[in-house]
Amino acid sequence: MGFGLSLTAAGEVLFRCPPDPVTAAALRRIRPRGCWQQRLGGWVFPLEAAGRLQQQFGERFRIDAPLQQWLDAVRVPLPPLPAHRELIAAAGLDQPLADGRQLLAHQRAGVRWLLARRGAVLADEMGLGKTITALTAARAVMRCSQARLLVVAPVGLHDHWRREALALELSPCLISWARIPAEPPPGGIVLVVDEAHFAQNIHAVRSQALLRLARHPRIRAVWLLTGTPLKNGRPIQLLPLLMAIGHPLARDRRAYETLFCNGHWRQAGGRQVWDCQGASRLDELQRLLRPQLLHRRKRDCLDLPPKRRQFHGVSLAASAQHRFDAALQRQLSRYRSRVAAGLVRSDAERLALLTAMRQLGAQHKLPALTALLQRLRAAGEAVVVFSSFRAPLLQLQRFEGGELLTGLVAPPQRQERLERFQSGGSDLLLATYGVAGLGLGLQRAAHVILLERPWTPGDAEQAEDRCHRLGTERTVSCHWLQLGGADDLVDGLILSKVDRIDVVLGRRRRQLRRQSLVRMLDELVQP
């Protein structure tokens, strides 16, 4: 491993040097500040520090070719964009779209807000039309600078982006999250990222690829779109998004983790590890995020019918309860046998138990779900059913029919089934959260059933809001089926996480509820 300056997979500067105290002292004086990363074997600095590093160490250490190309591009910046008022004029906010639509008031305000920022997170609730807002803003920049539009979006949403872009007479370059390029196309680029919460794990390959692309000197603007910027209520999930848009809070990663993620060193496995999975100073974080993160709710922007949650308790007959308990014990015994054989970790028993309870619970709730479905369909209602697991959905389809959307269905077939449901060819849609919980509009249905809940509140809200969005004409009823302890635990955790998310996004302020999953599961784990 050679010494010198290089470009990381995330578009940062990696400096490997001998363990020299003088060099280390000089590195600590570099601003923006870097930090030591053991897994990379060197110091990592933001790209903004590259010039200072090159000036101070360039004669002693080599600079690799990719980093040198970036530094050369930085020295020849793109021509500046026109003033904000000229960009607004180029946006044509009062002109009808090619399909006859007019931008709504909140969409026009969103365009103005985006055009005032070169890096931003548009975190409106699902169903407010983030796609058309971002496209309109991008069109204004393209008209004023000859820039090109690059859109990163899940493959299943590419058709949606093409249709919306056609209304603005645009032809964006669409790429999937799995194929983010290391280098953007030539010329100035407007980068729009849909479902930006896919990059909430800073160590994930796709997060690293996005950061490298977003930091490229040829990027004119980076606009991230997500209805769930904080899916799990942990501020650390926001850090990759803030790094991508160049937020001042992200210039010093360690300071962010310390201040807002309750970052601290702790003992684990006989060694010191850095723990930044907590949350702290949330009110201050919300205030500092406000200039570059816009979060608006449907109830403040649209005159929509209400969304109501209904909790349905499911009870099992004695024989069914006996089968459930026996199956759960078999799952637990099988897991402990694998632990004894050294195949899995011993410290994940609680998680394994909860996962088994969710899977078994989904199967045992099918009779109650079938009865609810039959009642709603007999009343002429269209229904959407969500689950994390394919098996109960397949079983349900065999008896009740309907359109099935899972990861095993190819994108063209998904679109056909979706259109059939939306056009009235079917009154039942069965879908997994990962496939139909993102980006799709299912306004025809006024009833959404969550067979069991995902781990994060963001995914649950995404699923519900497939039906509760722009174009909804009736009250949307969201049915949560609850069977025993597993659902009570997960639902309680979801509601607890929502409190933290609400504080960060500025929805409302209230005392956070604290629930210990460990404590609640310990009783269930006992033999």
pTM equals 0.80
To 5 degrees, how large is the angle CA 327–CA 333–CA 334? Answer: 90
To 5 degrees, how large is the angle CA 243–CA 295–CA 491? Answer: 95
pLDDT at 341 over 90: no
Alpha helices, H only, 58-128:
65-75, 84-91, 105-115
The most confident of 209-213, 333-337, 467-471, by mean pLDDT: 209-213
- Please give the average per-residue pLDDT across 164-173, as a whole number: 95
Q: Which of 121, 98, 188 is nearest to 150 (CA)?
A: 188
pLDDT at 433 over 90: no
pLDDT in tens, 370-411: 999 999 999 999 999 999 999 999 999 999 999 999 888 887
Neighbours of 189 (CB within 10 A): 23
Distances (CA, A) of 326 to 4, 96, 118, 300, 330: 60, 62, 58, 49, 6
Q: Which of 346, 357, 373 is nearest to 486 (CA)?
A: 357
pLDDT value of position 28: 86
Domain extents in the chain? 4-75, 84-301, 306-314+367-482, 315-364+487-527
Spatial neighbors of 136 by CB under 8 A, at least 6 apart, are 91, 92, 93, 103, 107, 111, 168
CATH number attached to the domain at 306-314+367-482: 3.40.50.300
Distances (CA, A) of 380 to 245, 431, 446: 47, 20, 11
pLDDT in tens, 12-28: 999 998 888 888 888 88
| Inter-residue contact 489 to 517 (CB < 8 Å) | yes
- Residues of the chain by 3-state class (helix, strand, coil), percent to 5: 50, 15, 35
The more confidently predicted of residues 349 and 78 is 78
pLDDT at 518 over 80: no
pLDDT value of position 513: 39
Distance CA 156, CA 439 (A): 8
Reduce the secondary structure of 469-508 to three states and give it as a string: CCCCCCCEEEEEEECHHHHHHHHHHHHHHHHHHHHHHCCC
Mean pLDDT, the chain, integer: 86
- Confidence grade of residue 125 (pLDDT, cut at 50, 70, 90): confident
pLDDT at 456 over 80: no
| Inter-residue contact 490 to 404 (CB < 8 Å) | no
The more confidently predicted of residues 85 and 520 is 85
The more confidently predicted of residues 285 and 458 is 285
Distances (CA, A) of 322 to 319, 325, 327, 351: 5, 5, 9, 22
Token reading at 149? 């539009």
pLDDT value of position 114: 97
pLDDT in tens, 139-164: 999 999 889 999 999 988 898 899 99
- Confidence grade of residue 485 (pLDDT, cut at 50, 70, 90): low
pLDDT value of position 434: 80
pLDDT at 198 over 80: yes
- Confidence grade of residue 515 (pLDDT, cut at 50, 70, 90): very low
- Confidence grade of residue 347 (pLDDT, cut at 50, 70, 90): low
CATH number attached to the domain at 84-301: 3.40.50.10810
- Please give the average per-residue pLDDT across 249-274, as a whole number: 88
Cis peptide before 19 (omega within 30 of 0): no
pLDDT value of position 520: 46
- Indicate if the alpha-carbon torsion angle 336, 341, 343, 345 is positive or negative: positive
pLDDT value of position 525: 46
10 Å CB burial of residue 239 (0-12, 13-18, 19+) is buried
For 63, which DSSP code?
B
pLDDT value of position 262: 92
The region of weakest confidence among 124-128, 233-237, 330-334, 491-495 is: 491-495
- Confidence grade of residue 494 (pLDDT, cut at 50, 70, 90): low
The most confident of 9-23, 44-58, 86-100, 461-475, by mean pLDDT: 86-100
